[in-house]
Amino acid sequence: MHHMDAKTAICLLINFLILVGGLWFFCRNLVKKTFQKRRDGIVEDLERADAARKEAEESNANLQRDNERNSELISGIIAQAEEQSERTLAASAEAAERDSKKITDRAAAEEDEFRGNMLQRVSTETVSRVADLTNEVLKLDEFADARQKLIERYIEKIKDLIVVQQSDILNMNELKKLKVKVSSAEPLTDEEMETLNRVIRESFISCENEVNADLVGGVSIKIGDTVYDGSLTHQLDRISQDIRSNTAAADTESKNITNAIAERLEKTHAEVDVYQTGKVISVSDGICHISGLSDVMSGEMLEFPGGLRGMVQDLQKDNVGCVLMGPFQHIQEGDTVRRTGRIMEVPVGEALIGRVVDAMGNPIDGMGPINTTEFRPVESPAPSVVDRKSVSVPLQTGLKAIDALIPIGRGQRELIIGDRQTGKTAIALDTIINQKGQNVICVYVAIGQKESTVAGVVDKLRSHGAMDYTIVVSASAFEPAPMLYIAPYSGCAMAEYFMYQGKDVLIIYDDLSKQAVAYREISLLLHRPPGREAYPGDVFYLHSRLLERAARLRPECGGGSITALPIIETQAGDISAYIPTNVISITDGQIFLESDLFYSGIRPAVNVGLSVSRVGGSAQIGAMRQVAGRLRMDLAQYRELASFSQFGSDLDKATRDTLNRGAHMTEILKQNQYSPMPASEQVVIIFAGAEGFTDDVELKDIARFERELIEYVKVSNPDILETIAGGKKMPAELVTRLKGVIAEFKQSF
């Protein structure tokens, strides 16, 4: 058993060893596989790590290269930016310097103007104050001897000054007496009074003496309305008034105002001022009635307190009617009015060109004073017939419909008439703009318009460079009626200055309807009897004496010209009203603008049938007269046929052709505002239409056809335009050549 146990134990041991060996082998393979897989994984990880390291190194190298390139690029950009910045800064600095200079100059100008105004105001106030103090000082007893000597000198001079006026003769004849009043600061001695009586009796009757201490010194004699004033108070008052009105040489930089007054008194103390005075009876609505002023002239300029000016309009037996040129609220009954002895006048000259002024010639554009010393009366006689020359030089408006059909010549008066908002002012402005480079000075008179409207006109003219040769006279709607009444005459006076200098002038009156209304208001306030439509009987003369001043002068008389384009506004197209018929009969033709044409898109809306120029083809260049000869008749025929053709559709070929040609010519004559066209270009396009080259062009393409044709002729055959602009008729060979050029262009259109 023990033997069996040993064998069994050996077997078990062998089996155990076999099992252990098997387990070892199995575990070994398992461990080997496990660690092999782990090792392979580690190896792969190491390989991947190595590859990643190499890739990272390569990326770092690339990144370093990119950084280097970026650094170079950034450096270049920075350098370029610095260079550009330097250029920009330099340009900005230059622009800033220019702007700064402009601002500085403007500020300096404003400062100078402000300083000048302040100096003038301070000087004026100082002089007035010193004059008042001088007035008081001269009343002291210390100056008694000087005052007595002044009276003696006055009595010596009065013998040569007293003149018998027409009004004095009338008073002596009718009233058998003449009032003479002698005022003196102190009682006159018997000897002095006897001397004065003897002097006055030679022409007048005896006089009375009144002591007036306010005269300070000297004597003042009033004979009728005429004053012979030799008082110190009057001299001091005139000094103050002269300085206030800038008519005296005011020494604004004087360190000693008293010395300045003393010097002035030294020169004037022995002089006697002779003038006529009157008293305000009533004042309202810009009209003043004055007593006295017996020898005043019609149209004379009067001087009111505060520097206000007025113009004499009515001469009655016992009073004078005067229109006031400016604010009159400070004028009261009893105020003294003084004659100036001058007819109403306005400043004229080259200094007004480019400026906007009121009806009295005062600047209202904020550009400072107008430096001119020349004046012309607002009312002056028209040139006589023998001084005039026939109208033969064209004044181009730049508008095809007018230059071709209703030509205007230099020295002509052509009326622009139509309802409101039909383009009347547009034609006038286009005409002004078209005068650029034509050596024509323009005057635009705005009557009764809004200030904003006038400002828009001035801005438009300035944007087209037309203010370089234009004067704008504005009497706006808010101003009193006398300013609206006088504005056209003021503008005409400014234009006449240049005409008599031998220059050509274009003047626009926009519009005379408002002037007629203002004159009607003045006349009714002056108690003149109303007539047709409440206008006074002389309203025709109002416009005729204005428009007759437009003329072309003979070379012996200066050779200049004034071309007048008055504007009249109609009511519902009624050209048979009072004012329109008046002005039509005065002018040399009219351009009638029709509302229906305007609203249908035909602009300028010229009614060819009612418009006419009595100068005719003599105011056209030869080529225009040649191509536009039948244009008026063709258009009139077209419009007549067009009005009948709407009632039937069965038309013969000739009628259809006429309607087609007329429609195309009407389209050709259309023109945009502010785009005037030279006469030579007008001839080319009108010639193309008249010869039938546009008959098969669509109406909507006419504007493009015109634009491209003109450009084509300018580029390919500029000599054609130069020849046409010469003013002569086109010879046959030029007509043939122009037809060929248009035919060539049409092939490529």
**Any idea which residues carry the catalytic annotation?**
614
Distance CA 105, CA 117 (A): 18
Query: DSSP letter at 411?
Result: T
* Residue 246 CB partners (closer than 8 Å, separation 6+): 120
Tell me if 324 sits within 8 A of 480, measured CB to CB.
yes
Q: What would the 3-class secondary structure string for 277-294 be?
A: EEEEEEEECCEEEEEECC
Distance CA 470, CA 457 (A): 12
Measured N-to-C along each axis, helices 702-716 and 653-668 cross at an angle, to the nearest 10 degrees, of 70
* Class of residue 306 by CB neighbours under 10 A (exposed 0-12, middle 13-18, buried 19+): middle
**CA 749 from chain center: how many Å?**
42
Q: Pick left, alpha or beta for residue 721 (phi over 0 → left; psi -120 to 50 → alpha; otherwise beta).
A: alpha
Measured CA distances, 381 to 284, 508, 550 (Å) = 31, 20, 11
**C-alpha angle 224/229/234, rounded to 5°?**
130
Q: Which of 326, 335, 208, 234 is nearest to 278 (CA)?
A: 335
605: tokens are 């809306």
* Class of residue 717 by CB neighbours under 10 A (exposed 0-12, middle 13-18, buried 19+): middle
Query: DSSP letter at 333?
Result: T
Give the pairing type, strands 300-303 and 589-593.
unpaired
66: tokens are 């990119």
Tell me if 212 sits within 8 A of 253, measured CB to CB.
no
* Residue 186 CB partners (closer than 8 Å, separation 6+): 147, 148, 151, 211, 213
Q: Please report, as a single letter, which amino acid is at residue 208.
A: E
143: tokens are 């100056």
Q: What would the 3-class secondary structure string for 123-189 be?
A: HHHHHHHHHHHHHHHCCCHHHHHHHHHHHHHHHHHHHHHCCCCHHHHHHHHHHCCCCEEEEECCCCC
